[in-house]
Structures are given as structure tokens and as C-alpha cells.
Amino acid sequence: MMEIIRRTVPPSAHTLAQSGVHPVLARIFAARGIIETGELDTTLAGLPSFASLRGIEAAANRLADAIERRERIVIVADYDADGATACAVGVRGLSAMGADIGFVVPNRFEYGYGLTPEIVAQAAAHSPRLIVTVDNGIASHDGVAAAVALGIEVLITDHHLPGATLPSPALIVNPNQPDCAFACKHLAGVGVMFYVLLATRATLRARGRLPDGGPHLAKLLDLVALGTVADVVRLDRVNRTLVGQGLARIRAGRAHPGVTALFTAAGRDHRRATAYHLGFVAGPRLNAAGRLADMTVGIRCLLADTAASALPLATELDRLNHERRDVEAVMQEAALLDLAARTAEAADADAWTLCLYRPEWHQGVIGIVASRLKEQFHRPAIVFARGKGDELKGSGRSIPGFHLRDALDLIDKRAPGVITRFGGHAFAAGLTLSKAALPRFAAVFETVAREQLTAAQLKRALETDGVLAPGELNLDLATVLHDEVWGQGFPAPIFDDTFAVSAQRVVGERHSRLVLTRAGERFDAILFNHVDSLPASIRAAYRPDLNEWNGTASLQLVIEHWE
């Protein structure tokens, strides 16, 4: 059962409206914590300086030294979209400053996550003097030790939450490391790498090594935007700026060929790109390489310099994404069967967590299945697949109020030895444990969830921005909303109201095209995955959207929930 809850509109909405903000947007922004118009500034000039990032000066100096000495640098990437874009940003940015640079990316199924000793050995084959990690490394104690033993220095650029100790000796740039004063704690890995490039360029300029000023790093913002949205980090002001500026480049046709090719392969027009398309169109296709095969193909796509070389790679990524969907559907069906069987047992009928494993499940898709289960049942969910030997690899997703990475840390302290490795964020985390430890882990996971959550937090709720007054719901509003940056922590607005259902017809065999009326106003609407007849009157939660056809845009309501 879904409950519709209307967001509270604070007094700052009036202040924003008086400052010239669109009245509806003023209410929306205020409900998301915006107090003054300065917080809406998403120009590059409004970004905080790199200087407050702990370790950034040492990192920039070391990279500048490597560039001046023509030392070989190898980037060690992660196998998700954030890691792939961070790698592409690093390779493009550093090479434009004169670096001798290459990259390696772990195969998820052979090496696992992060800077492991095995990956160090693979990187060492390229004879680097410096390894730079992107979107990983903050927990790679053994990997750093292995690199140092080979005479290779390590620069860690990461955004994941650190453990009790940091890898040493290593240079580290991570806004979440202790004593880092950088204002944005939600930078994705690609955002951290972008800031490292800004600092490195400034250092080389100060040394007189870039008489022409060096590369225009804003050209990389389409890649930064893609990785930021795909990693589902909180869209605070800094991230909204990075994403907004990147989207502007994509819409203007100034994106890298690989990014444009991802849109083309998906049959989407990059000129109408939104954060939604980065998260649900381009991002999944890029992620598919790391989930099912090797992220090298994804990184090569992002590094392609022409449309002709990028499109075949994007087409392969599109094919992998279709394959991923098929695998996901089979796994999700099996997961639902397992949950149904458990619910039939009195002991598991009231579980506050979901913890599932089947030996045949695909390790690269467990995170998506965990996300689907979390959304459907509104419970913290962890899905496991078989790893090497007797190991299980788990990927989890969580709900508001339950910090998943901190919960795993607590489990590790309460039940030492149950978890072999873990890491992540509040809403997403990964872990490794032995198959024999799974029952014990599931039991402690359930206990911790019951301690930290309330029954009310387990109820599914849909937050809306309330009712739009007559005349407010129009094409102009839909256009304004379309062009804003929405996402994690800054959700796209949803409104609710009571409508009369004047007409309904089935389209595409699975969806309903509707005509809704309210106070003399008529609206076209779409209700996906529903063909049964609706009652004469419904309360609907909806998104104002643009329906574009033959070059003409019209208002369309997308129904998210009805009752």
C-alpha cells in the first residue's frame, strides 16, 4: 500500500518567489532545502575552490612532477560508470597536459573491486612510476603495499567512506577522509578526479609549464555529469552545477563522441538530454560492460575521438544492456519466488530486511536486483552471488533512515569474522563473506535493522509537492521543470490532485493513454504498465512532462501512482 505524503513548504518559498524565481519552482526549491537564490547558482564560477580538499596540493605536485619528468602514469579504474567516466576524465585531462598515461580496469569476475595486489601486478606490466586510482583505493591497504614493494607510488582519488585507517604510504584525495574541509562530501569519483585535474593544471601554470593556459577542462563536464548521475550521489549544489554544465554541453552537441553515441545507440536525442537520460539511458549502457563483460569497452567508448569509432562500441554496450535486462528478469523472478516461499513461513513473514542468495545468480547483476527488491518492498536488501571458492559477493541497497555502510561496519564489530570485506555509502554497499557465514550475517543484519529503523519507516510513501492551482499546470511549467537538474537528494517534482477520467485507451499493448479533467481544465496523461479500466474519478500523483512528436511539444502528465 502506497501512502501519498505532501512535502511541507517552508517560508523560504515566499522569499525565493519575491526574488524572481518562478512561483511553482520557488515552492519546489524551498521544499528541498533551498533558502536563498544564491544556492541556485549553478555557474562554474560558483564552484568551491579545490584548495580545501585535503591532500590536493601534494597530489597536484606529484602529478605535475610526473608530467615534467615524462614518468609513466597508470590509472586503475573501477568497473562501474563512475569509475569508467573518472578514468576517461583522467586520461583525457592528464594527456592534454602532456602526461604519459595509460589505464587498467579490473575485471569484476577475475579480480574483484579496488586496487588489489593482483591489479597492481597487472598495472606494473606497463612500467609505471605512479599509479592513480579513480573511484577506488580508500580501503586498498594490501594493494598500496604491493605497489610500494615494486617501487611504484600511489595516488588514491576516491569518494567512498574510509575505514578506521587509511592506506599508507599513499597520497590521498577524498572529500570523506578525516579532516577534509571540502564543502561537498557527495562528489562522485569522477568529480574528485575532475578537481584533481583543476589543481594539477593550476600547479603546472604556476611552474610556467602551460604558457597557453593548458587544456579547457570544462570540455570534460559531459563525462563528469554522466558519472555523477549514474553513481546516484546526492545532487547538492556542487553536483547540480557539474551535472547542469555537463548537460548543457550534451544538449549543445559539444559532448565527447562516446557520450553522444550512447544516446544514439539507445535511440534518444542528445539535444533533449536530462539527468534522467544520464541515469536511465546512458548510464545503464555504460554499466552493462562492467556487469557482464569488461569495462574496457566502455572506457574505450568514452575515449573515442570520432563518431565513427565511438558508435560501434556504443552499439556493443547497448547489446550488453539488453542481455543484462534478460539476466535481471530471470534473477528477479527467482528472488520473488524465494520471498514468497519465505513469507509463507511464519518466522519470515515480518522480516525487516531482505537477504537472498542463489548459486546460479550473476555477480554483475545482483546490485540491480537488490535495488528492484528495495523499491518493491521498501526494505534494505542485499543479494548475493557466488564468488571465488567458497566466497559470496553481496550487493545491497537501502532505504532512508538506514545507513547501509555503517550498518555493515556495526555487523563487522558485533560479529567479527563474518564479513571478509565491505565498503560503500548510505544507500549502496558491497561485501564479501563465506557461504557458511551467510545465515549468521542475515540474522545480525535483521537485528541491526530492527534497532535502527521504525515500523513507520518501512511503509512505502510517495512524497509530492502538493496541488497545482488552476492555470499553473501548463506547457511552460513542464518545460521549466524539464530543463532543471533533478536526482538523488534533489528529487524531481511530483504533484497530486483529484481528476475525472474522461477517456482511456490502450497503447503499446501494456499502457493506458488517458484524458483527465479538473476544474474545467483538460490534460493528456499516460499510465504505464496498466490496461484495466480506471474508475470515473481518481486521485493521481503525477509528473508534468513534455510529449514531443514531429517537432512539436505538448504537455503530458505521467501518472506515478493512482488511487
Which residue in the block uniquely carries the three cell numbers 550521489? 233
Average pLDDT of the residues in 3-16: 94
104 and 137 part of one domain: yes
Is 232 found in the same domain as 153? yes
Whether residues 254 and 108 fall in one domain: yes
Same domain assignment for residues 378 and 303: no
| CATH for 224 | 3.90.1640.30
Say if 344 falls within a structural domain: no
What are 237-256's pLDDT values in tens digits? Answer: 999 999 999 999 999 999 99
Percent of the chain whose predicted confidence (pLDDT) is above 70: 99
> Are residues 249 and 101 part of one domain?
yes
Residue 347 has pLDDT above 70, yes or no: no
Please check whether residue 275 is in contact with residue 245, taking contact to mean a CB–CB distance below 8 angstroms. no
176, part of any domain: yes
Q: State the Cα–Cα distance between residues 81 and 289, nearest whole angstrom.
A: 9
Residue 348 confidence (pLDDT) above 60? no
Arithmetic mean of pLDDT over the chain: 95
As for how many domains the chain has, the answer is: 4
Does any domain span residue 400?
yes
Asked which of 458, 490, 523 is the last residue of a domain, the reply is 458
Taking residue 81's Cβ as centre, other Cβ atoms within 10 Å add up to 33
pLDDT tens-digit profile of 78-97? 999 999 999 999 999 999 99
Q: What is the rounded average pLDDT of the residues 505-518?
A: 96
Contact 5, 464 (CB under 8 A): yes
Collapsed DSSP state (helix, strand, coil) of residue 507: strand
Q: Which domain holds residue 514?
A: 462-562
pLDDT score for 2: 84
pTM of the model: 0.94
311 and 448, same structural domain? no
Asked, for residue 343, whether it belongs to a domain, the answer is: no
What tens digit of pLDDT does each residue of 374-431 get? 999 999 999 999 998 999 999 999 999 999 999 999 999 999 999 999 988 899 999 9
Instruction: Tell whether the model's pLDDT for residue 33 goes beyond 70.
Output: yes
pLDDT of residue 208: 97
The better pLDDT of the pair 149, 108 is held by 149
If asked whether residues 94 and 222 sit together in one domain, one would say yes
Tell me the average pLDDT across 61-88: 97
Domain assignment of residue 330, yes or no? no
State pLDDT tens for residues 158-184: 999 998 999 999 999 999 999 999 999
pLDDT, one tens digit per residue, over 317-339 is 999 999 999 999 999 999 999 99
The DSSP 8-state label assigned to residue 379 in this structure reads S
112 and 218, same structural domain?
A: yes
pLDDT value at 349 more than 90: no
Instruction: Check pLDDT > 70 for residue 230.
Output: yes
Residue ranges of E strands in 41-142: 72-76, 100-104, 130-134
- CATH at 516: 2.40.50.460
What dihedral do alpha carbons 338, 344, 350, 354 form, nearest 10°?
0
The answer as to whether 441 is a domain residue is yes
Instruction: Examine the domain organization and report whether 446 and 485 are in the same domain.
Output: no
pLDDT for position 408:
97
pLDDT value at position 407? 97
Could you say which of 458, 476, 497 is where a domain stops?
Answer: 458
Q: Do residues 311 and 259 make contact, with C-beta atoms less than 8 angstroms apart?
A: no
Q: Say whether pLDDT at 372 is over 70.
A: yes
Q: pLDDT (tens digit, 9 = 90+) per residue, 261-306?
A: 999 999 999 999 999 999 999 999 999 999 999 999 999 999 999 9
Residues 171 and 299 both lie in one domain: yes
Q: What is the CATH number of the domain that holds 450?
A: 3.10.310.30
Q: In the prediction, which pLDDT does 345 show?
A: 61
Task: Kindly report, residue by residue over 533-545, the tens digit of the pLDDT.
Answer: 999 999 999 999 9
Residue 39 lies in a domain: no
- At 108 the pLDDT is 83
The cell numbers describing 338, all together, are 524465494
Residues 453 and 467 both lie in one domain: no
DSSP letters of 191-222?
HHHHHHHHHHHHHHHHTT--TT----GGGGHH
Q: How many CA atoms lie within 13 A of 314 on its CB side?
A: 25
Q: How far is 443 from 437, CA to CA, in rounded Å?
A: 10
Residue 329 counted as domain residue: no
pLDDT category, 350, cuts 50, 70, 90? confident
For the stretch 203-222, pLDDT in tens is: 999 999 999 999 999 999 99
Model confidence at 1, pLDDT cuts 50, 70, 90, reads confident
Which of 233-271 are b and which e, b meaning 16 or more Cβ less than 10 Å from the residue's Cβ? Answer: bbbbbbbbbbbbbbbbbbbeeebbbbbbbbbbbbeeebe
In a shared domain, residues 82 and 180: yes
